[in-house]
Structures are given as C-alpha cells and as structure tokens.
C-alpha cells in the first residue's frame, strides 16, 4: 500500500546494497531525482536494469555503484555514446562492469513477462542476431502446434523499481500519461517494492477510464519531487532539456570533469533542486 | 530540379525520403532515417504512418526529435501505446512495411553493426547496441538503410552482427527461417544501392549528381559492384530542399542548438 | 485502409461461407447489428470465436449458421444458460455444433498472441482443470530457464473480425473507450479483414494520448450504425438493455418462439432499427 | 444483532461479506460473490479492491452489475484495463488475494463444476463453462466459494473439474505444482465450511442461526463432517441487513426487474 514519504527515506527504506534495481523510463519520465538520491546514499554493488540506460545510468556507473547492467540500448539519445559506460566496459574504470545485453523487443517482452508473473518471455526474435551467440540468457522454445522455434528470455524481476509519474491522488493511485514505455511493467514486476516520484499530489487524477493508472496497492512509496525527471521530461509539465543531454557528452568524456560535475550537481544537492531545474522548461 | 547547391547529406536524406510511399507504415530509426521519413511526410507522402519505438503511432512532428521519445512525437500521434505492445502487436505482428535503420558499420550484404568495434567481450569501442534494430531487421516487411559512406563504416567484415541483413548472401535469410525481405535499399550520401537479385550483394544502382564511381569506391572497404544500367539520382527539387531545410531549421531552434 | 461502407456491403465484401469469424465484445460494445446482417445474408458454416458468446451467438447457432465455436463462457450474463446453444450441443438442433472450449485466461492470451503474430500463447494455467483433458489444443511448453511447465494454446487468428466502437474520425481511425475487452486484439489478429460498426463519425476523436485507438490502416471497413451494440451498450452513448437480456431466456427457450422472434426482429429488419432500439437507453 | 427476520440467502451474503478484509484485492465472480463483495465494501471494508474480469480494477458500483462488464463497473473504477492484461498482469501476476467464486456443483474438496451435467462430450445439461474460474482457482492467493446448498449442487462426485479445489484432498494441489492456498472458505445459505487442515475436506465450522446439523446434511450428497468446536454464525446486524437490502433494491430498480 502506497505510503507518502520523503525521497531519501523511501530509498533507504527499500533499496539495499547488492540489489537488482530498475529506474525505468523510455526517454520520457526518467526518474533522475530518485537515482541521484541512490547515488548520494552510496548504495552500491547494484545490478541495473533498463532498456535505454542513458545519462543517469552513466552517472551511477561512473560513481562505481554498478556491478552489472541488463540493457538493450546504452546511448545518449540523439547525441552519441555513454562515455562513463564505455570507460567501465573498455577500461574497467572505476570498476569492471558485467553486461547482459538484449534487443528492445527482448527487454520489452521480458518486462511484460515479469509483470505477468511468468518465468520467461516468448517472442519471435534474435534471428541471425549476434547477441544470441554471446548472451546465454537467450534461449528457445518450440511451438507445440507449429514446430516453430521461438526466442525465450528470462522475465525481468528487479528487487526494486523506481519510476517517475505525473501525479498521484491522495489515496496513492498513480497516473502516467504520454509515452508510457515499460513503467507499468517495471512497477508490477518488482519483487520487493516499487517507488514512484511524482510531480504533484491531486484530489482527483481526472484520468480517462483506460489511462495508465497504477492502483495504490501496487506501490510501496510515493515521493513528491517536482521536476524529478529532469533533464528528461514530464508530458504536460515540462519539456526535455535537450541542451543538458548534449552537454553531458563533454562532461562524461573526462573522468575529472565527471567527478567535479557529480560533486556539484548531485552529491552536494537534494531532491528539491529539481523544481528549479525545470522552471524554464515548463509547458 | 533545383538550381540551389545542396550538400551530399541533403541529397542522402531526400533520396531516402523519395523511396517512401504514401501508404507505407514505417518504423523510424533516429537520426538520418527520422529526417528522411519526415521529409517524405511533408512532401509526396502525407498519408505515411510513422512509428517510433517509444510507442508513438502515426506521429507528425513539426521538428525532428532528438530522441526516440520526444514529447512532440506523442502529442502529434494518432495514439501512443506501451513499449511491449509496440514490439508485440505492431512490429512482431507484421504491420510494418518499412523498417528504416542507420548503422555504424555495414557490410556488402546489408548486415549491420551498432554494438562494438573489436571483440564483443573486450571491445575497442563500446557502441550503444542494437536497441530495436535486431527485430526491426527481421520483422519489418522490408528494410531501408541510410548512412554516410566511409571506410570506417563500409567494411569488408563487420565486428558484430547487431542485425541480420542478407547474412552471407543468397538465400541465407530463408535458411534461418526469416520470411521478410530484409534490406532492399541502401541510401548514402553518394549513391543508391540495391541488392543483386541472386547474390543479395548491395550494388550501386544510382550515383548522386556529380559523384563518380571512384568516389564511391574510395569510401568502401570492399570492391564495389555497379549495376549495368547505372543511373544518376535526380537532384533535389526546390520543394524538397525547402522542406528539408525548414525542418532542420525548426529543429535547430527547438533543440536550443 | 478503412473504407466507409454500408454494413450490408461491408459484410458481403469480406465474409465468406465457411469462414472463421469473431464478433468480439466483453459485455460492452457487442456488435449485434453486424451479426444480424450476417444472419440476414445467410452466411453459414461458420466457425465462431468469442470469449463470451451470448445472445447474438445463440441466435446465429439457432439459425443453423454455425459449424463450430471456440469460446470460454457461453452464458446469458447474469441470467443463465444459452438455450439455443444448449439445444445444439445436447440435441444437435438445428445442426450439431463442434466446440473448442477454453478458460478466459487461455482465450485472452490466445487473442493477445494472435494480435502479436505468434503461433501460440504461453501462460500459467489449466492446472488441475478438466478442459485440459478434453481439448487437444491445450498443450504445454517447458521454460528453458526454470523448468516450469506452462500451458500453451494456439493463437486466435480469425479470417474476419467484427467489433462495434464508439466513433471513427473522417480518416477512419477508430476509438474504443471503457471496457475495451479484447477488441483491439480481435482487430489486429484478423487475417483478412476487420470490420467496425461505429456510433458516429466525428471530425476529431478527442482521444486521450493513451486511449485505445485503432489506426485506419488496421481496418478494412467502417459502417455507421447508431445503436449497433444493442442490447449490449456503448459507454458514453447508451446503457445496457438488461430487460432484453432477461427476456431472451424465454424467447430462446422454445424453438418456435425463437424462429418467430428472429423473423420479426432480425430477418425482417435492417441496421437502421438499432438507433430506435436504444432511444430510451441513451445516457 | 438485528431483530429483523432475515432470509438464508441474506445470511449467506452477509457471512461471505464478513470474510473479506479492508486490504483484500478481490477477483469477483458474478452473482452471490458480487453481492457479498459489495456488501463488504459498503460496511466494514471500504478500502477493499474489487476486480471484475472485464478489466475493471477498484470498482465501486452503486448497484450490483447484472453482467461482469456493466457500464457502472467501469465508470466507478480506479482504472479499466484490456482483458488480456487483466488475466496476465493482475491474476497471473499473483496480485489477487481472494478469488470469489460461485458454482453449479461442488464436491467435498472444493472442486467446482460449471461446465456440464453428464458426460462432457454428450452432456445432459450444457452449462456456461468456466470463464475465468479455472485460473482464478489456481492463481488467486486463496479462494472463497459461496453457493446455496442442495443435493443437486453438493455432490459426491462432480461431473467435470471446471476448476480445481483440493482435488482428492491432502497435498494434491502441491503435487500438481499449484502454489496457492485454494478454497479456504465455503459460505452457504446454511453454514460456514472450512477445509480440514490435513485432509482438506470441507468441514462445517459454523451453523447459521436456527440451522441444524440435519438440515445441513439433508442438502449435501456426502456425509458431512462437522468441526469439534462448531459455532453459530452471528445473525446479520441491522446495518448489514440495511446495506444489503438497499443494494438489492437499487439493483432491482436499475435493472428494470
């Protein structure tokens, strides 16, 4: 049952060293504030899951908190590579990182299977693809009706999932609108807890009957963090800070510049700074 | 035909746009594919359905998205679906007529690498990875690829099979049980390439205005095959250039670039 | 690409004797008008698919148009049994009917698999259930990661699917709101054509970004039939005619009464009568 | 406790309602389960989450639905999801604390038949079939069953295993790999039954006011076991009766009955 908490308390109550954790968001509604809180609390040795790890996973990797990452596209969207991730993969800095790499189709299906309580996802995929040769978690099942061989991957079941959403009502039901990605699946697939940061609490979600609403009893904790997706965006609240994505390339390109940036913008801050960061981006 | 000068990059985008039809349902990769698809929509193919893997179906953005999930893609879409549904119902369901991809490395059979340079387990350069490409390549009815030519990108042997084109050529797709056509068009800054009907090796069928065979060969790491009836790509029209440049300008302003 | 047509023309253009066909709707938006048109055109030897065959399938069965039915709950919701269906199963009247019976979970998963272009659906189901012993299309696959045995059923792929929806825009995009059931899946799973009856055509669907919208190119034909779901209902347009469901029990209980009712209310009518039937039920 | 007379049917519904908790997530079958669940919601369990298989989650109807998908279920729900999602994410996902079922036939181990009377392939009476019940019975954390007692319904051997209760008793569920508790409560118009901890045979643990052991036995096709500490079900309170009757009256008017 959803409890309204401060973000710091929600993180320390639910996330443990060594956990498997997802901070999901498909370009939209990426829970940056929550991930920054985890960085500040120094919770490490994590296995990170996300289809599209971008800046905030680059930051967690660069801070040495990540042991392993399950993903399908590790880039800075529209900009280029993730330089902290590269440094970890290519040079083992600040620590080596294990990877389990999939395609988007596989990850999306694996999230769906996780939400559906199944041990695996079955889909038509990976035909001729090199990942099938390097990832032992890509296997096959045979259709007992047609004999077709289909791809199978394990369901994704993190210990804890974090998402950012537009709003919650006072009972703790959460609404996500726009590009909804795999966030519902990430919440429902979490084994121990789903933690949601929201732009605001409202009396009435005002939701369309078929809108993406997560009932209060699917969520462990809700923290109000206006701007908590920045530099990602929140449909109906503020736009994407494309300039910040572009600027990240240079920051992450240098180990010293990266550490200095993290000190200034993450370690020395708190969740309350996000509201300020989106002030100029409000729609 | 335009009297304006145009860049190879503009020619590439416009030539790629021309390949799209009004009734295509197009799964759009970010970057060059996205520009081409939107130029098509804004010129000869207003009815085209553009789908981005973030879940936006039938989108019509005013500016090019920086990411695959920019807000405008959703705001202008016919509908936006969850990402699992996008990959299950729309791509795997066989509803995509054209998957439009870019690449870091490509070989003569249209196999693509966007995963690593070097060995997978100890890469020289770790690239972003495949994202949607492995299944876009196998499940779209056909695949168009657009990328600039360079010796670094057009290689004899790709370092990793991120997505499967025609494999070793011939009927390699069919032998793997892949029922779709695969890469049927490669549009670069210098030329238009199509697979040979038998060998499935990509063959230059049209040179962009002013481009020589030598220029094409210089930027390719294998011995290029040219089709017998090699033609010249019509230069961009005034309208095509105006639409592309206006789109790029709107995009530049919108992204604060 | 959706063509706007008269219902009669849409049916005769797309549905053939011997087809496998679904008229889907989960209590809500059941395409009664479309099924009545099929009855009038006498298109028979059909295999019917539906999770919850109710009155309108009872009618098609009683008229002798049905060779086989794939279903998971054949009742008159809240009222009782389907007496024409019973007569066909128990007495072979007016012709014997073959059945392929599943659970709701199996059918829902099979629709999902049909929409997803897969040959089969995989789920955790049928454990200890008698249907697994009488339906040879209930099989199993083994998870290659956990060894768990999971149920598998063939994907549903009708030749033609009919649904009723609230509205279409002038381009032919269709909006469904409220209890959406498996209608999107039925449309996407159709091999040859999906035919949609709608309450109205509008300039702008006014749809929420994540509403259930079927793009125009997923639909073969759209026919405007106000009231076309009666005695089922259309959320936002008119309520369910519960009295008609209750009354059906007596009508269907007698072969002669049934034939007479069909003559009067179906065979001697056209799609235009549905608007009148919902006049008192409008919300 | 109420001074009003009450019917066995009212006692059944109210006793069933009392079994539900404020934090339950309840997958509601139509008919008697639906009445019980809504009485619970309108009395001691306002926070209960009621889910109908039509996709409505957290619904709070003013009147009882005639069907599993009446409009009011959607209008008053927290959200309404597609039916495939309902069965995959919500039921199979393990999120249902109580599956609440009715039945046509039941045996002493809580196995249920709603499929056929007689042989499956040549039935004397073809019933509607299982609908959601087979997986509600195996995937809900526990199952409550409510139905009126009769010799026709409470049978030594059911004609068809629509949904699996405790099978042949004992650890039969576990032997089939079913990890949920199965039927833990049976509420009839005469009594409350619970499974014996060892044999899993349903045993009467509470008789409704005025009901004798003989009355229970007369309506059951096997030799009934009574628990040692047999208690009497508290009669409906004034509030419970008022709530139930008002609900039924609103329902009668709304359905034009």
Distance from C-alpha of B113 to C-alpha of B148, rounded to nearest angstrom: 14
Confidence of residue B1 (pLDDT cuts 50, 70, 90): low
H or E element in which residue A200 lies: strand A193-202
* Confidence band for B249, pLDDT divided at 50, 70 and 90: very high
Distances, alpha carbon A195 to alpha carbons A7, B169, C254, D36, in Å: 9, 49, 58, 33
Q: What is the pLDDT of residues C113-155, one digit of tens each?
A: 999 999 999 999 999 999 999 999 999 999 999 999 999 999 9
What is the torsional sign of CA D73, D79, D82, D88? negative
- Measured CA to CA, the distance from residue B87 to residue B140 in angstroms comes to 11
- Per-residue confidence in pLDDT tens, chain A, 283 aa: 899 999 999 999 999 999 999 999 999 999 999 999 999 999 999 999 999 999 999 999 999 999 999 999 999 988 999 999 999 999 999 999 999 999 999 999 999 999 999 999 999 999 999 999 999 999 999 999 999 999 999 999 999 999 999 999 999 999 999 999 999 999 999 999 999 999 999 999 999 999 999 999 999 999 999 999 999 999 999 999 999 999 999 999 999 999 999 999 999 999 999 999 999 999 8
With a CB cutoff of 8 Å and minimum separation 6, the contacts of C249 are: C76, C79, C80, C83
Among residues D53, D135, D201, D240, the one annotated as catalytic is D53
Q: What is the mean pLDDT of residues C30-41?
A: 98
- D168 in active site: no
Number of other residues whose CB lies within 10 A of the CB of residue D117 = 17
Using CB atoms within 10 Å of the CB of residue A243, give its burial: 0 to 12 exposed, 13 to 18 middle, 19+ buried.
middle
Verify whether the Cβ–Cβ distance D255 to C134 is below 8 Å: no
Q: Which of A262-276, C24-38, C256-270, D243-257 has the lowest mean pLDDT?
A: D243-257
Task: Give the integer Cα–Cα distance in Å for A57 and A9.
Answer: 21
- Decide if pLDDT at D195 tops 80: yes
Closest CA–CA distance from residue B169 to any residue of chain C (Å): 27
- Span D197-202, mean pLDDT? 98
* pLDDT score of D2: 52
Q: Is the pLDDT of residue D257 over 60?
A: no
Confidence of residue C246 (pLDDT cuts 50, 70, 90): very high
pLDDT grade for B2, boundaries at 50, 70 and 90: low
Helix, strand, or coil (residue D232): strand
pLDDT-based confidence at residue B69 (cuts at 50, 70, 90): confident
CATH architecture of the domain formed by C3-102+157-282:
3-Layer(aba) Sandwich (3.40)
Would you state the pLDDT for residue C78?
Answer: 82
Q: Are strands B56-57 and B49-52 parallel, antiparallel or unpaired?
A: antiparallel
- The pLDDT tens digits for A35-51 are 999 999 999 999 999 99
Which residues 203-262 of C have a C-beta within 8 angstroms of B?
A: 207, 209-213, 215, 217-218
Contacts of A181 in chain B (CB under 8 A): 54-55, 69, 82-83
Contact assignment for B123 to A90 by CB distance below 8 Å: yes
Strands (E), chain C: 3-4, 20-23, 46-50, 66-71, 75-76, 80-81, 98-101, 120-123, 139-142, 149-154, 160-169, 174-176, 193-202, 212-214, 221-224
Q: What is the pLDDT of residue A37?
A: 98
Confidence of residue C224 (pLDDT cuts 50, 70, 90): very high
Confidence of residue C202 (pLDDT cuts 50, 70, 90): very high
What residues 97-116 of chain A have any CB closer than 8 A to a CB of chain C? 116
Residue C17 in this model has a pLDDT that exceeds 80: yes
Query: Do the Cβ atoms of D74 and A209 come within 8 Å?
Result: yes
Q: Could you tell me the pLDDT band of residue B248, with boundaries at 50, 70 and 90?
A: very high
Chain segment D65-124, per-residue pLDDT in tens: 988 888 999 999 999 999 999 999 999 999 999 999 999 999 999 999 999 999 999 999
Contact across the interface for C116 and B92, Cβ inside 8 Å? yes
Alpha helices by DSSP H, listed for chain B, are 8-18, 32-42, 71-75, 83-85, 133-139, 172-175, 213-218, 238-254
- Confidence (pLDDT) at D29: 82
Q: 């020289």: which residue's tokens?
A: B124
* A122/D contact by beta carbon, under 8 A: no
Mean per-residue pLDDT for B179-199? 98
Q: Domain locations in chain A?
A: 3-102+157-282, 104-154
Is residue B3 pLDDT above 90, yes or no?
no
Q: Among residues C128, C132, C101, C148, which one has the least CA distance to residue D182?
A: C128
Per-residue confidence (pLDDT) for residue C283, from 0 to 100: 87
Q: What is residue C205's predicted lDDT score, i.e. its pLDDT?
A: 97
Predicted pLDDT of residue C197: 98
Whether B257 shows a pLDDT value over 60: the answer reads: no
DSSP state for residue A243 in the 8-state scheme: H
Q: Is the ipTM of this complex over 0.90?
A: yes
Q: What percent of chain D has pLDDT over 90?
A: 92
Average pLDDT score over residue span B72-81: 96
Tell me which chain D residues have a C-beta less than 8 angstroms from the C-beta of A207: 79
> What is the C-alpha separation between B254 and A124, in angstroms, rounded?
38
Asked if the B8-254 domain carries CATH number 3.40.1160.10, the reply is no
* pLDDT score at B82: 98
Cα distances (angstroms) measured from residue A251 to each of A261, B128, D62: 7, 18, 58
Residue B96 has what DSSP assignment? -
D-proximal residues of C, 8-27, CB under 8 Å: 26-27
Q: Is B57 within 8 Å of B49 (Cβ atoms)?
A: yes
Give me the residues of B, 22-41, that contact A with CB < 8 A.
30-31
Tell me: pLDDT of D6 over 60. Answer: yes
pLDDT greater at residue B257 or residue C165: C165
Provide the percentage of residues in chain D whose pLDDT is more than 70.
Answer: 98
Tens of pLDDT, residues A49-97: 999 999 999 999 999 999 999 999 999 988 999 999 999 999 999 999 9
Contact A118 C124 (CB under 8 A): yes
Q: Which residue of B has its CA nearest to C176?
A: B79
């Amino acid at each position: 049952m959803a409890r309204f908490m401060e973000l710091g308390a929600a993180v320390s109550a639910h996330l443990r060293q060594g956990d498997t954790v997802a901070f999901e968001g498909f370009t939209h509604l990426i829970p940056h504030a929550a991930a920054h809180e985890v960085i500040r609390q120094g919770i490490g040795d994590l296995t990170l899951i996300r289809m599209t790890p971008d800046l905030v996973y680059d930051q967690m990797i660069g801070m040495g908190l990540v042991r392993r990452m399950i993903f399908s596209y590790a880039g800075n969207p529209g900009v280029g590579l993730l330089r902290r991730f590269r440094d970890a993969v290519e040079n083992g800095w600040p620590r080596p990182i294990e990877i389990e790499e999939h395609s988007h189709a596989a990850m999306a299906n694996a999230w769906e299977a996780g939400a559906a309580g199944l041990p695996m996802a079955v889909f038509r995929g990976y035909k001729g693809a090199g990942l099938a040769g390097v990832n032992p978690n890509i296997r096959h099942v045979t259709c007992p009706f047609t004999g077709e061989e289909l791809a199978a991957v394990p369901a994704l079941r993190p210990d804890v999932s974090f998402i950012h959403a537009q709003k919650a009502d006072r009972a703790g039901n959460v609404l996500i609108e726009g590009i909804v990605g795999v966030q519902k699946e990430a919440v429902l697939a979490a084994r121990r807890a789903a933690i949601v940061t929201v732009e605001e609490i409202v009396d009435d979600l005002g939701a369309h009957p078929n809108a993406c609403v997560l009932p209060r009893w699917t969520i462990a904790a809700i923290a109000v963090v206006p701007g908590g997706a920045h530099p990602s965006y929140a449909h109906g609240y503020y736009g994407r800070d494309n300039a910040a994505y572009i600027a990240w390339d240079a920051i992450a390109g240098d180990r010293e510049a990266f550490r200095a940036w993290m000190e200034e913008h993450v370690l020395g801050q708190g969740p309350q700074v996000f509201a300020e960061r989106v002030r100029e981006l409000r729609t | 035909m335009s009297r304006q000068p145009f860049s190879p990059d503009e020619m590439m985008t416009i030539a790629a746009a021309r390949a799209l039809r009004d009734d295509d349902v197009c799964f759009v990769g970010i970057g060059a594919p996205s520009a081409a698809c939107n130029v098509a929509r804004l010129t000869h193919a207003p009815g085209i359905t553009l789908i981005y893997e973030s879940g936006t179906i039938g989108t019509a953005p005013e500016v090019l998205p920086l990411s695959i999930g920019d807000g405008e893609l959703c705001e202008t879409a016919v509908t936006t679906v969850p990402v699992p549904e996008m990959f299950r119902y729309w791509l795997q369901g066989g509803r995509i007529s054209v998957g439009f991809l870019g690449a870091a490395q490509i070989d003569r059979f249209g196999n693509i690498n966007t995963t690593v340079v070097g060995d997978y387990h100890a890469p020289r350069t770790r690239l972003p990875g495949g994202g949607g490409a492995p299944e876009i390549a196998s499940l779209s009815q056909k695949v168009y690829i657009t990328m600039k030519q360079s010796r670094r990108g057009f290689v004899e042997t790709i370092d990793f099979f991120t997505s499967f084109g025609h494999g070793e050529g011939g009927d390699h797709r069919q032998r793997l049980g892949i029922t779709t056509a695969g890469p049927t068009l490669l549009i670069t800054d210098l030329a238009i390439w199509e697979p040979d009907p038998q060998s499935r090796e990509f063959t230059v069928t049209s040179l962009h205005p002013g481009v020589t065979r030598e220029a094409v060969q210089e930027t390719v790491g294998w011995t290029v095959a040219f089709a017998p009836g090699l033609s010249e790509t019509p230069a961009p029209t005034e309208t095509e250039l105006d639409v592309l440049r206006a789109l790029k300008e709107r995009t530049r302003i919108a992204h604060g670039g």
